[in-house]
């Protein structure tokens, strides 16, 4: 089981839906692709040649004229909240208008169930034709030869990868090919409740804030109004159970890193890296401006519930926080001693290597990254578009704070992606949760040093 993010429970993780959903019909069971072909036409007749053939055969002029193959039905599997599928129908309808010969059936599952179903489908040779892929987990799947190399399709159609965010494209690129296209992005920012700030006459966060300013204002916004000795409003909140939510950004802001340049060992044991994680522990147990994670482990996001004035978390939460009625402000994460940094993590759309309809699957994956579909993504406010035209244009002015999120790409670090990521993250996070965040029985440096040999062993075995 893929457990790296499961610690988040029913909070932001289950709300982080894939923001682009395609398909003419919505179903809730995974199915392999099928192709209905006109008499005498093979289901694979129009598939791109393998790389070895593509290089030696005459190539037609680059074309983006749309799908011209046989009628096809393909399956598309995503994780997310089934209720939000309704919001994606416009993308489905638009795709079907320009590709009427392709029917896409969408399956949706929560995070844990999604990966369990995917593993079962792959093992049985019946995986979805197109499925969502989390950036850090991509190498584990690509190395198993279960993903279709899209490079021949890209070359044949003259598709311009430069129209998509560079970091996100790179996350699905290997020395041997391109095994997916990014479909959306997420960055980490500082959310704040304007009403709480106004009530406390506190200045809104902005790009000048640093760690010291965060602590100072968080103290002012941590209040015990009923006098029982326990805060009923916290100055700050974040989820501690995954590096993406905040602590990886703190590592980078403190001048540290997670992996060595060659990716064969971790450098989390340095004073800079451990110091970033220590800052988060101190917010909970030393400064006492952030709740003990156990207080909200069962009930969910403290900021969303109006129990915290600020939150460091992902752009996937914008729509959720707005729907909760929060007078929402969005600012860059406060700078650390080494400057500004945040995390970027793309979600990609990949194609099953054994799909019976590779051309139709490619057409759909390509559409998900198109300006038309990415504009629909923008309207949902569930994540950032991966398409540069939409990201830098209409998205940046689509809501208050959107430009902050778009601008964050300039100083963002990609969330680590490597084979064995899940085991690495589980080993590390289990130690941090138990002895650094949930209880301060160890310093961040002590906890990291304890698991450092195991982490390096996992990385060395890649």
Model confidence pLDDT, tens digit, residues 13-37: 333 333 333 333 333 333 333 333 3
Averaged over 131-144, what is the pLDDT?
A: 96
pLDDT of residue 8: 34
> Does a structural domain hold residue 139?
yes
Going by C-beta distance under 8 Å and a sequence separation of 6 or more, which residues neighbour residue 289? Answer: 215, 218, 219, 221, 222, 234, 235, 236, 283
Whether 204 and 72 share a structural domain: no
Q: Which of 385, 409, 433 is the C-terminal boundary of a domain?
A: 409
| CA 392, chain centre distance (Å) | 19
pLDDT in tens, 79-102: 887 655 665 666 777 888 899 999
- The DSSP symbol for 398 reads S
Whether 283 and 215 share a structural domain: yes
pLDDT of residue 68: 87
| CA 180, chain centre distance (Å) | 14
> Does a structural domain hold residue 327?
yes
Contact 356, 34 (CB under 8 A): yes
Tell me the backbone φ, ψ of residue 305, rounded to 5 degrees.
-85, 5
Q: How confident is the model at residue 298 (pLDDT cuts 50, 70, 90)?
A: confident
Taking the C-alpha atoms of residue 368 and residue 106, their distance in angstroms, rounded to an integer, is 13
> Does a structural domain hold residue 7?
no
Average pLDDT, the chain: 86
pLDDT of residue 54: 34
The total number of structural domains in the chain stands at: 2
pLDDT of residue 82: 66
Angle between helices 89-98 and 371-380 (to 10 degrees): 170
Q: Which residues form the domain of 198? A: 187-344+414-460
125: helix, strand or coil = coil
Q: Which of 301, 304, 343 is nearest to 327 (CA)?
A: 304
Contact 211, 279 (CB under 8 A): yes
Q: How confident is the model at residue 10 (pLDDT cuts 50, 70, 90)?
A: very low
pLDDT in tens, 392-439: 999 999 999 999 999 999 999 999 999 999 999 999 999 999 999 999
pLDDT of residue 91: 74
Going through 155-250 in order, the beta strands assigned E by DSSP cover: 173-174, 177-178, 181-193, 237-238
Whether 211 and 166 share a structural domain: no
Taking the C-alpha atoms of residue 13 and residue 327, their distance in angstroms, rounded to an integer, is 22
Averaged over 341-362, what is the pLDDT?
A: 97
Whether 261 and 359 share a structural domain: no
342-351 vs 412-414, strand pairing mode: parallel
pLDDT of residue 419: 94
Dump the DSSP string for 38-84: -TT--TTTTPPPPHHHHHHSPPPPP------S--EEEEEEEES-GGG
Whether 86 and 176 share a structural domain: yes
Whether 63 shows a pLDDT value over 80: the answer reads no
Q: Which residue in the block uniquely carries the two structure tokens 């053939």?
A: 53
- The DSSP symbol for 237 reads E
Whether 355 and 314 share a structural domain: no
Buried-state track 216-235, b at ≥16 Cβ within 10 A, e below 16: ebbeebbbeeeeeeebebbb
* 32-38-42 Cα angle (round to 5): 60
Whether 381 and 271 share a structural domain: no
> Does a structural domain hold residue 305?
yes
> Does a structural domain hold residue 395?
yes
Whether 177 and 129 share a structural domain: yes
> Does a structural domain hold residue 1?
no
Angle between helices 271-285 and 444-460 (to 10 degrees): 130
* This prediction's pTM: 0.85
- The CATH number of whichever domain residue 363 belongs to comes to 3.40.190.10
Whether 229 and 143 share a structural domain: no
Tell me the backbone φ, ψ of residue 36, rounded to 5 degrees.
-100, 110
For 117, what's the count of Cα atoms within 13 Å in the CB-facing half-sphere? 20
Going by C-beta distance under 8 Å and a sequence separation of 6 or more, which residues neighbour residue 327? Answer: 193, 194, 195
Residues facing 384 on adjacent strands: 185
Whether 331 and 378 share a structural domain: no
Whether 390 and 429 share a structural domain: no
Whether 72 and 218 share a structural domain: no
pLDDT in tens, 436-457: 999 999 999 999 999 999 999 9
> Does a structural domain hold residue 112?
yes
């Amino acid at each position: 089981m893929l457990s790296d993010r499961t610690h988040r429970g029913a909070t932001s993780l289950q709300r982080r839906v894939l923001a682009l959903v395609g398909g003419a019909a919505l179903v809730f069971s995974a199915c392999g692709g099928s192709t209905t072909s006109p008499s005498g036409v093979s289901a694979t007749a129009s598939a791109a040649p393998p790389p070895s053939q593509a290089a030696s055969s005459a190539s037609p002029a680059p074309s983006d004229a749309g799908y011209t193959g046989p009628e096809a039905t393909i399956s598309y599997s995503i994780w997310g909240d089934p209720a939000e599928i309704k919001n994606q129908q416009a993308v489905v309808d638009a795709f079907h208008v320009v590709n009427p010969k392709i029917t896409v059936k969408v399956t949706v599952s929560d995070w844990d169930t999604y990966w369990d179903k995917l593993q079962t489908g792959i093992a049985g040779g019946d995986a979805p034709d197109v499925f969502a892929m989390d950036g850090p987990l991509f190498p584990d799947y690509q190395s198993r030869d279960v993903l279709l190399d899209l490079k021949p399709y890209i070359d044949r159609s003259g598709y311009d990868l430069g129209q998509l965010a560079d970091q996100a494209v790179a996350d699905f690129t290997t020395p041997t090919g391109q095994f997916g296209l990014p479909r959306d992005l997420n960055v980490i920012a500082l959310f704040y409740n304007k009403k709480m700030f106004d009530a406390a006459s506190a200045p809104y966060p902005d790009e000048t804030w640093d760690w010291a300013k965060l602590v100072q204002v968080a103290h002012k916004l941590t209040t015990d109004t009923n006098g029982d000795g326990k805060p009923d409003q916290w100055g700050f909140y974040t989820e501690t159970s995954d590096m993406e939510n905040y602590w990886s950004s703190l590592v980078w802001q403190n001048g540290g890193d997670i992996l060595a340049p060659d990716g064969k060992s971790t450098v989390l044991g340095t004073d800079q890296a451990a110091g970033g994680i220590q800052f988060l522990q101190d917010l909970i147990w030393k400064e006492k401006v952030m709740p003990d994670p156990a207080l909200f482990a069962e009930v969910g996001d403290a900021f969303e519930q109006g129990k915290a004035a600020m939150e460091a978390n992902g752009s996937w939460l914008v729509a959720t926080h707005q729907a909760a009625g929060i007078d929402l402000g969005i600012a860059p994460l406060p700078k650390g001693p080494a400057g500004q940094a945040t995390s970027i993590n793309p979600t990609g759309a990949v194609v099953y290597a054994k799909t019976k309809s590779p051309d139709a699957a490619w057409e759909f994956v390509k559409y998900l990254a198109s300006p038309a579909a990415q504009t629909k993504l923008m309207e949902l406010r569930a994540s950032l578009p991966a398409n540069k035209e939409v990201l830098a244009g209409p998205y940046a002015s689509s809501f208050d704070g959107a430009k902050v999120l778009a601008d964050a790409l300039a100083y963002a670090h990609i969330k680590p992606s490597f084979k064995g990521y899940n085991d690495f993250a589980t080993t590390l996070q289990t130690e941090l949760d138990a002895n650094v965040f949930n209880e301060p029985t160890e310093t961040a440096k002590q906890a990291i040093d304890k698991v450092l040999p195991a982490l390096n062993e996992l990385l060395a075995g890649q």
